[in-house]
Amino acid sequence: MSLSPQEAHNVAHVLTEALPYIKRFRGKTVVIKYGGNAMTDDELKDGFARDVVLMKLVGINPVVVHGGGPQIGRLLDRLGKESEFVQGMRVTDRETMDVVEMVLGGQVNKEIVNLLNQHGGCAVGLTGKDGGLIRARKMVVRRTSPELQAPEIIDVGHVGEVVSIDKSIVDMLVGGNFIPVIAPIGVGEDGHSYNINADLVAGKIAEVLQAEKLVLLTNTPGLLDKQENLLTGLTASRVDELIEDGTIYGGMLPKIRCALDAVNAGVNSSVIVDGRVKHAVLLELFTDQGIGTLIKRR
């Protein structure tokens, strides 16, 4: 069945609009944090895999960092273990850490690798423990309140923060024409495993790779102002103003800070994209308008 003249025009327009962006990103690294609905809806999963494989085929170097909180929660429920959160972080005792490693490093990571490979990619899955990719330390969580004379230190178990990342491992995979798929688990000097926020890991990997772009997939359209309008093209100073006036708060705050830290550390731009939109990654990279909240260096 042939295309109508209008359909053919639309296809040609899309392809010609993408061309300058393909030229711009060719040979560059784009780090993508994969999570939210994009990981659970079959149609969105298929679209994401096609996007990433297409990026690789046109000469862009995608690096995928994934989450898996809902999948971890479901397995803990089946095991009869209650999930507990402190300041948005899952309290991770030794038993929970075993589940985290099984779900993130096994089930979720291998599902993503398999999906990318089914669509013609050549993906390799690893956790931060492989080759000492992500060195971590235990995160110290402090809670303050008017009743306390000093901040209360809360033990959240095997929750970590990034100490360092060995970029040579990722460089080796990218140089071998592979697509790295990384689970956000780090290892401490004591040999213990640590569960690390996937946004944080994606941001740090983008920093050490000096990526052209950091893409954070979320379940929201991006950053909205107080009138529910999408904000984009933000600079570091503008982000600081939006935090100060309360526009950026709650769960969006750490995501924005992660994107901003990456830009301040040398990543050319960061963008928060609605992962509920099919082919969200390609729409952001290869169209004039983009579909998310862009944070740029200047």
Q: Confirm if 255 and 272 have CB atoms less than 8 A apart.
A: yes
Token reading at 65: 């960092």
Residues ≥6 apart with Cβ < 8 Å to 145 = 152
Low-confidence residues in the chain, pLDDT < 50:
none
CA separation, residue 127 to residues 67, 101, 109, 229, 272 (Å): 12, 9, 8, 37, 24
142 assigned to some structural domain:
yes
Cα–Cα dist 135/6, whole Å: 54
Q: What domain range is 289 assigned to?
A: 25-296
Residue 218, both tokens: 């979320």
Find where tokens 């359909």 sit.
Answer: 7
Q: In the chain, how many domains are there?
A: 1
Q: Is 2 part of any domain?
A: no
Q: In angstroms, rounded to a whole number, what is the distance separating the alpha carbons of residues 22 and 83? A: 43
| C-beta separation of 182 from 133 below 8 A | yes
C-alpha to C-alpha distance for 276 and 256, rounded to whole angstroms: 19
Domain assignment present for 6: no
Residue 3 located in a structural domain: no
- Residue 12 covered by a domain: no
pLDDT of residue 151: 61
pLDDT of residue 227: 73
CATH of the domain at 250: 3.40.1160.10
Q: Supply the pLDDT for residue 222.
A: 76
